[in-house]
Structure formats: structure tokens, C-alpha cells
Amino acid sequence: MQKRRLGNSGLEVSAIGLGCMGLSHGYGPATDKQQAIALLRAAVDRGVTLFDTAQAYGPYTNEELVGEALAPVRHRVVIATKFGFTFGDDGKQQVLDSTPEQIKRSVEASLKRLKTDVIDLLYQHRVDPDVPIEEVAGAVRELIYEGKVRHFGLSEAGVQTIRRAHAVQPVTALQSEYSLWWREPESEVLPTIEELGIGFVPFSPLGKGFLTGAIDQNTQFDSSDFRNVVPRFAAEARRANQALVDRLGEIAKQRHATSAQIAIAWLLAQKPWIVPIPGTTKLRRLEENLIAAQIELTAGDLRDIAEVLGTIPVQGARYPAHLQARVGR
């Protein structure tokens, strides 16, 4: 597995990481625990070193899973997790809270769940409009000084927030959605973090599964699957967006690759400091995704893809309104 550095931080990770959320949260019932542990350890054996989790995934259960799975190989991996929520009286409702006191409590709890004495990369999961980002960055700076955290990250933050945070505590990585069907970061975010020397970790690099070609307008999701409330996954949007997937599949066929591999290879070709974190629950999909690191798209390939993106507009909003309000702050 090739390695990449996240910006100027010196943090080196595998060119493709693993998003662990879907093993516990968001895409239907949780994966059997032993199967999930086996998958995580198989990823390590295949050269993956960046593993992404969060307190909110479960909540808490994904961190526990990642901690148990990676404890025997802790010295070989980089663990990223996130703070920024409490979970209401029912233990599930997400309530933004990035007060310094809550950050420190959250980190202590995450360390225990992850079975480690240090978090390699700690993200603010969503910007809290009630807490100045300078206070957030300052709290993480103290945790770094104490040796409980190594690197500071932001998730889905806007460019002014990134700049203000970075002035207090250098930001190692920004995590946001970026893929062939969500390219908004190209307008402001990517130029800003390139200027500041911050790495980029795209989640949902396969469009929450749509870019694999395995989902169509007739696909039925489990009742607990997050995609049921995403406008881009409404049946009419899927029907309209199928044209993009079909063209991607044609390009993949020409390269003797899969649509998923081309989608990930396209991300890797954008900048050398981009490290996508596709998620999966299946070993064969993990292995398929990792092959993308070996695919070098030619200038002709990139032109063909750009032509497709320029002629087939993606239909449907990325998030329902209440979740969209939390991003880009």
C-alpha cells in the first residue's frame, strides 16, 4: 500500500483509509461483531493504516469495536475519532456541544473505548456555532500538550473557521464529503487547505454506495438506513443520476477496473495530500477498493471523466435541510 502525508503535518498514512462508521451505524443493522473485527484486522494486513471512527457512530459502539479490533496492532495504525456531540435524554439525539469541558470529557471516554493512551487524529465532528472555534482549538492544543492527542482535525468546516482554528492550533486534516458526485469542496475548501498545508480526508468517496453501480432506482434500503432521508437517494433522483454511473462504468470497463476503483482513483489523482476513507462491511469490497491505489488515471482518462461530469448534472440535495444546516460553518 502506498503512503501519503496529510498536508505539512508529517502524519503519514496509507493512501486509502477505512471509514468504520457503517460497521455499526447509518447503513442498516450493525455488522456481526466478530465479522467486523475480522474485517478491520484484514484491512491492517493489507496495508491500511488510517481508521476513522467517532463517538456519534452508535453512539459509542463503533469506537468500542475499533478499539477492540485494533488493540493487538495498535502500533501499526493511525486512529482518528471525533468529538462534538452529546446525545440527549434518550442517548441517541445528537446535540452539538464543543465546550472545552465537554471536549476533555469526550477525549477521556474515547481513550477508554479505543483502548489506547493517545488519539492520533482528533476531529471536531461538526462546528458548534455557540462555541468560538478558537476555544475549541485551544482545548485540543492543551490535549496535544498533555500527550492525549497527536493531531487536530475539523470535519465539514467552512473556510473562515478553518483559518481561525489553524491560527490557534495547526489543523492536520479536514474531513468532508468529496466524490465524483459531490464536488463542492473544489470551489473554496481545497484551495484554502492547500494554501495552509492541511490534508484532506474525503468521506463517502463512493457516493454512499451509489457510484459503485450496485444501487438503482429499485433498491430498497433497510428501515434504519440513513439514505432513506437523503434527497439524492429518492427514487426519482436515483433514476436521473443513473446516467452518471452508467458512463463511469463504461470508463471503468475500458480500464479493466470497477466503477468503485475509478471513483477512488479519481480522488487520489486530484491532490497528493488527499486520503479517501471508503467504508465497507465486506472483505471482497475492501480488497476491490484498495486496488484503486494502484490505478493511475491518464490525462485522457481524467478528460473523459471531466466531460461526463460536465454534461450530466447530479440531481437531489446532498443532505436533508436540518443536516445541511450543520455543514460549511
* Cα 20 from chain centroid (whole Å): 9
- Structural domain that includes position 83: 3-209+272-295
> Cell 476513507 identifies what position?
277
Q: DSSP secondary-structure letter at 93?
A: S
Grid coordinates standing for 236?
Answer: 426519482
Grid coordinates standing for 107?
Answer: 477525549
Q: What is the DSSP string of 212-275?
A: GT---TT----TTBGGGG-GGGSHHHHHHHHHHHHHHHHHHHHTT--HHHHHHHHHHHH-TTB-
- Residue 122: CB partners within 8 Å, gap ≥ 6? 80, 81, 82, 83, 107, 140, 143, 149, 151, 152, 153
Residue 41 lies in a domain: yes
CB 231 within 8 A of CB 316: yes
Residue 294 Ramachandran class (φ > 0 left, ψ -120 to 50 alpha, else beta): alpha
Residue 28 lies in a domain: yes
Residue 218 lies in a domain: no
Q: Which residues are catalytic?
A: 57
Residue 88: predicted pLDDT: 81
- CA–CA distances in Å: residue 140 to residues 126, 262, 323: 15, 37, 25
Q: DSSP secondary-structure letter at 27?
A: B
Residue 90: predicted pLDDT: 78
**Rounded Cα distance, 250 and 236, in Å:** 22
Grid coordinates standing for 256?
Answer: 479493466
CB 201 within 8 A of CB 276: yes
CB burial readout 19-46, b (16+ within 10 A) else e: bbbbbbbbbeebbeeeebbebbeebbee
- Residue 321: CB partners within 8 Å, gap ≥ 6? none
pLDDT in tens, 240-272: 999 999 999 999 999 999 999 999 999 999 999
Residue 93: predicted pLDDT: 86
Work out the angle at residue 30's Cα, subtended by the Cα atoms of residues 231 and 39, and round it to the nearest 5 degrees.
110
Residue 263 lies in a domain: no
Residue 127 lies in a domain: yes
Residue 288: predicted pLDDT: 98
Our count of domains for the chain comes to 1
CB 224 within 8 A of CB 238: no
Candidates 66, 80, 162; CA nearest to 115 is 66
Residue 167 lies in a domain: yes
Residue 319 lies in a domain: no
Grid coordinates standing for 284?
Answer: 471482497
pTM of the model: 0.97
Residue 92: predicted pLDDT: 79
Strand, helix or coil at 179?
A: strand
Residue 116: predicted pLDDT: 98
Residue 39: predicted pLDDT: 98
Residue 59 lies in a domain: yes
**Rounded Cα distance, 250 and 264, in Å:** 16
Grid coordinates standing for 174?
Answer: 479536514
The rounded average pLDDT for each run of 10 residues, N- to C-terminus, in the chain (329 residues) is 95 98 94 98 98 97 98 98 91 91 98 98 98 98 98 98 98 98 96 98 96 93 94 94 94 96 98 98 97 96 94 93 92
pLDDT in tens, 133-170: 999 999 999 999 999 999 999 999 999 999 999 999 99
- CA–CA distances in Å: residue 52 to residues 204, 317, 322: 12, 25, 24
Write the CATH number for 128. 3.20.20.100
